[in-house]
Structure 1
Amino acid sequence: MVRTSLVLIYFLCSNIHCRLSPEDEQCVRCICEASTACFSILECAKKGISVDYWRQAGALVVTGGVVNDQSDDAYAECIQDESCVLETIDSYTKKILRHINDVNCDGIVDCRDYFSAHKFGTGAKNPDSVFKPAQTKRFDRCEGHGVGNLTDSGWKPGICFTIRNNFS
């Protein structure tokens, strides 16, 4: 149910201003706090959202902005708008996870997978894509991301295998 909602929100919100669900917003806030040690979304954007990241996310624009504007000015406006920053991180991580799916192969795509997608992009499943201890501790301390902790859980990226029947 949650995954279906996330996919629906993604399709409805590409390139436009769209409010995230409370769960998705809290996950993104925890990702920012854990990855940059910033409690401010706008400070997180300065440290964690490059122009390339923003473009890969779909070059979201602030309300009233020109859709599909990938200019440096549109980027500068976006990273100064909290909603645009939240939506950019959400969009980026969902795009990455559409390609690599469940990072740790536990059968559940949750905020830990989104955090990994944010930090490591398409390399999130690489065994070398591990969080720094300070990042895992900040993620674990963050309230409301809705998942277990990273520090003590043994959470790590993995290569998931899917067996397909080629005869059907």
Structure 2
Amino acid sequence: MQTYCVVAAVLVALAGLASGQELVSSTCLGCICEASTACNTTLGCTSAGYCGPFLISRAFFLDSELQQEANFASYSYESCTSDPFCSAAVIRKYMAKYPRDCDGDGLRTCSDYAMVHKTGPNSCANNQAALNSEYWKRFLACLSFYPNA
């Protein structure tokens, strides 16, 4: 239960990012964050090169092209990935750039965004390794509390 209190706190913080209808909802971002690191905002970078509460790689960050937006131009990879608001913006930009229907249901849902986040846009369809991962188990557990994410 404590974990989901953290998710709720992150959701409230991320809700400040929303302006109108967002492609990736704040609730969905909260579940991706929970699945990635239990929303650990003090994590820094792993030895594998993934940083921040969402475990964003440098390639993911650069590919999102977030730094081309005036509000985020001053952020470096390290400063952005350690900031939950900037990290969430990276994910939203990335998902807008690479919309995918990973599960083939004809819709783009939070599950699709979470799978693209984990596997990348070209490996998300029927990725058994990702579907059997701890990340996916934590994501589904979170999503069970927020089915409309």
Could you say which TM-score interval applies, normalised by the shorter chain?
Answer: 0.5 to 0.7
Partner of 2:17: 19
141 and 62 in structure 1: CA distance in 2 versus 1, 3 angstrom threshold: farther
Distance 2:141 2:134 in 1: 11
1-side partners of 2:66 and 2:29: how far apart?
17
Give the Cα–Cα distance (whole angstroms) in 1 for the partners of residues 128 and 141 of structure 2: 24
CA distance in 2, matches of 1:113, 1:41: 24
Distance 2:140 2:126 in 1: 22
How many matched pairs? Answer: 121
Query: What is the aligned-residue RMSD (CA, Å)?
Result: 3.1
Measure how far apart 1:46 and its partner are.
5.7
Matching residue of 2:62: 55
Structure 2 distance, partners of 1:82, 1:63, is 18
Offset of 1:88 from its aligned partner? 0.8
Letter in 2 for 1:54: F
Q: What's the TM-score once normalised by structure 2's chain length?
A: 0.64
TM-score (norm 1): 0.58
Tell me how far apart the structure 2 counterparts of residues 62 and 145 of structure 1 sit (CA, whole Å).
32
Q: Describe the shift of the 1:59–1:135 C-alpha distance in structure 2 as closer, same or farther (beyond 3 A).
A: same
Larger radius of gyration: 1
What is the deviation of 1:110? 0.4
Change (3 A) 1:91 1:115: same
Structure 2, unmatched stretches of 5+, are 1-15, 44-50
SS at match of 2:66: coil
Change (3 A) 1:87 1:110: same
Shift in Å, 1:41: 4.9
Q: Give the fraction of aligned pairs with identical amino acids, expressed as a percent.
A: 25
Moved over 6 A (4+): none
- 2:39 and 2:53 in contact (8 A); partners too: no
